[in-house]
């Protein structure tokens, strides 16, 4: 039986357990299901997280709490609970007298703000804690309902949950052997977009010292919306409530069973939304700008594009990147494995992918011209969906950041035994690294198959873990004393555009990721009148 340990937190004592990793043989301490805010149920649904009451008896924290209620991202079954504001702490050492405090990685899970969890299924701590870094994984509310006016349901509830978790870390992590002054927030996909938004939110400042954003930034088209109010009322109508006011709508939605809200979420889309989202995964309730009267502190009151352009963001150590075939996930999910049929259907849907800020009006001749240009440029085995959904937004964000600070930029293209998407979904007929494929090289995952111990994938996993934890420790992924590769990773800044290729070879590359494709989009935004010259 695992040895139990007790740690004092600011709210009361909790019991964890000592674990020996089956993969590394290393010992670490596990505390799971630690409450950091009151359960957001009943009248607290759609409200900012509230402080929990203290306790005196030792609380058992040796088992994971349930994730936020959702349909599982792969299995699609309904699971989880609204009572989901819990975090997990995994530490290689507790608060030993005289021992140096350890750096901390706070991990925010992805899943399109619609699915995902903080559990070990996708976030196993074994490889991170082996490098003497404390890992904290955070559960938060999904589907951020917003009515776009002061009062309840102002939006961004899950992001405010994450802030509450970061405040808990600042107050308590020293009891687990951690240094509250060395906290790195990190995440992938929606987790990466969350990290990026925390870098711009006044609410989050002072709660972290460095940041890692993988395959997600605040200005990706799926990560931010201005349609929250419309979708909230449409959701109410789909459940039988034609509300005349936001107050009436919220009261009704607070009375609806949580599973009904999950099942009805996609009904919040308009017919035009559905046409667009036939090409990408539907995430109806995501972060937004909040309208506040001052009674409730907003997470974000200015659009992230404006904040990026004005340089109003955290300027400390920052590492960010994308995978070279991000859009493979979307294509496979929509069209299956028949590549010819996929391309045929996709060709007819290109007009739906024209960004609205370029076309201005759906069905216009301008939209058709842009669609024709996109078809000509991209239907030669180039990754259109990945560029639209992930890489162009990332490119624009990095241009803004590098004007003011240095950023460690990477492109992950490695293909091996621990690529998550290809091994879990079985999509191995397309080259490159899909969205989420890097995760298997950072975390232990129950979903991944075993591989021969002499597999090169193990080498790549060791490299990735070292790079990420080196950054957490020092703000530099290849600092001299612990450089896992024979390459000094050069950061991108105002004087140089460069990134690290993490593939069959690991090397610095000059320029920006997918430079010719990014130039194509820059040209479209600069002057759409030149489109006909491109056709």
Catalytic residues: 189, 326, 435
Compute the distance between CA of residue 498 and CA of residue 468 in angstroms, rounded to an integer: 18
Report DSSP letters for 139-195, one per residue: ----S----SSSSS--S-HHHHHHHHHHHHHHHHGGGGTEEEEEEEEEEETHHHHHH
Q: What is the DSSP letter of 47?
A: S
Pairing relation of β-strands 13-20 and 4-8? antiparallel
Please, are residues 141 and 115 in contact by the beta-carbon 8 Å criterion? no
Please, are residues 414 and 501 in contact by the beta-carbon 8 Å criterion? no
Compute the distance between CA of residue 87 and CA of residue 107 in angstroms, rounded to an integer: 10
Tally of residues, the chain: 535
Please, are residues 164 and 207 in contact by the beta-carbon 8 Å criterion? no
Compute the distance between CA of residue 129 and CA of residue 21 in angstroms, rounded to an integer: 10
Compute the distance between CA of residue 470 and CA of residue 468 in angstroms, rounded to an integer: 6
Compute the distance between CA of residue 433 and CA of residue 415 in angstroms, rounded to an integer: 6
CA angle 268, 114, 316 (to 5 degrees): 120
- Collect all residues with Cβ–Cβ distance below 8 Å to 62 and sequence separation of at least 6: 2, 4, 15, 16, 17, 30, 31, 32, 33
Tokens of 176: 């687990």
Report DSSP letters for 327-391, one per residue: THHHHHHHHTT-HHHHHHHHHHTGGGGS-HHHHSSTT-HHHHHHHHHHHHHHTTT--HHHIIIII
Backbone φ and ψ of 401, nearest 5°: -65, -45
Compute the distance between CA of residue 422 and CA of residue 302 in angstroms, rounded to an integer: 38
Q: What is the DSSP letter of 29?
A: E
CA angle 480, 484, 487 (to 5 degrees): 70
Please, are residues 370 and 531 in contact by the beta-carbon 8 Å criterion? yes
Sign of CA dihedral 443, 218, 73, 34: positive
Compute the distance between CA of residue 102 and CA of residue 88 in angstroms, rounded to an integer: 16
């Amino acid at each position: 039986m695992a040895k139990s340990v007790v740690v004092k937190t600011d709210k009361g004592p909790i019991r964890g357990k000592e674990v020996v990793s089956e993969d590394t043989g290393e010992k670490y301490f596990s505390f799971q299901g630690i409450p950091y805010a009151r359960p957001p149920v009943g009248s607290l649904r759609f409200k900012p997280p509230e402080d929990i009451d203290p306790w005196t008896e030792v609380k058992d924290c040796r088992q994971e709490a349930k994730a936020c209620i959702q349909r599982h991202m792969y299995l699609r079954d309904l699971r989880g609970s609204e009572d989901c504001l819990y975090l997990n702490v995994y530490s290689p050492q507790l608060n030993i007298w005289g021992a140096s405090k350890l750096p901390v990685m706070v991990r925010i899970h992805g899943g399109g703000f619609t699915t995902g969890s903080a559990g070990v299924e996708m976030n196993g701590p074994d490889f991170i804690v082996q490098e003497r870094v404390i890992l904290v994984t955070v559960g938060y509310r999904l589907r951020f309902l917003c009515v776009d006016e002061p009062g309840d349901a102002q939006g961004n509830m899950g992001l405010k949950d994450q802030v509450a978790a970061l405040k808990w870390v600042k107050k308590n992590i020293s009891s687990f052997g951690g240094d509250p002054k060395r906290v790195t927030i990190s995440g992938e996909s929606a987790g990466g977009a969350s990290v990026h938004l925390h870098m711009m939110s006044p609410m989050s400042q002072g709660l972290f010292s460095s940041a890692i954003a993988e395959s997600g930034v605040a200005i990706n088209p799926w990560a931010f919306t201005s349609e929250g109010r419309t979708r909230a009322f449409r959701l109410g109508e789909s459940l039988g409530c034609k509300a005349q006011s936001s107050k009436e709508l919220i009261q009704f939605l607070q009375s609806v069973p949580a599973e009904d809200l999950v099942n009805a979420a996609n009904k919040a889309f308009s017919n035009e939304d559905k046409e667009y989202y036939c090409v990408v995964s539907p995430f109806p309730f995501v972060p937004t700008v909040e309208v506040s009267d001052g009674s409730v502190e907003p997470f974000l009151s200015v659009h992230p594009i404006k904040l990026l352009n004005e340089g109003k963001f955290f300027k400390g150590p920052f590492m960010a990147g994308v995978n070279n075939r991000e859009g493979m996930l979307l294509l496979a999910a929509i069209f299956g494995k028949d590549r010819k049929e996929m391309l045929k259907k996709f060709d007819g849907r290109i007009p739906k992918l024209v960004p609205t800020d370029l076309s201005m009006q759906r069905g216009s001749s301008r939209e058709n011209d842009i669609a024709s240009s996109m078809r000509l440029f991209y239907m030669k085995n180039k990754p259109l969906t990945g560029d639209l959904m992930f890489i162009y937004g990332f490119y624009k964000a990095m241009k803004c950041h590098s004007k003011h600070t240095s950023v460690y930029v990477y492109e992950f293209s490695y293909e091996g035994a621990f690529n998550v998407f290809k091994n879990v979904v079985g999509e191995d007929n397309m080259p490159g690294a899909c969205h989420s494929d890097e995760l298997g090289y950072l975390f232990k995952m129950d979903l991944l198959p075993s591989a021969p111990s002499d597999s090169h994938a193990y080498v790549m996993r060791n490299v990735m873990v070292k790079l990420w934890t080196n950054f957490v420790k020092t703000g530099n992924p290849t600092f001299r004393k612990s450089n896992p590769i024979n390459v000094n990773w050069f950061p991108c800044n105002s004087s140089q555009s460069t990134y690290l290729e993490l593939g069959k070879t690991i090397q610095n590359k000059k320029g920006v990721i997918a430079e010719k494709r990014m130039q194509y989009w820059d040209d479209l935004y600069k002057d759409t009148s030149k489109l006909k010259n491109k056709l």
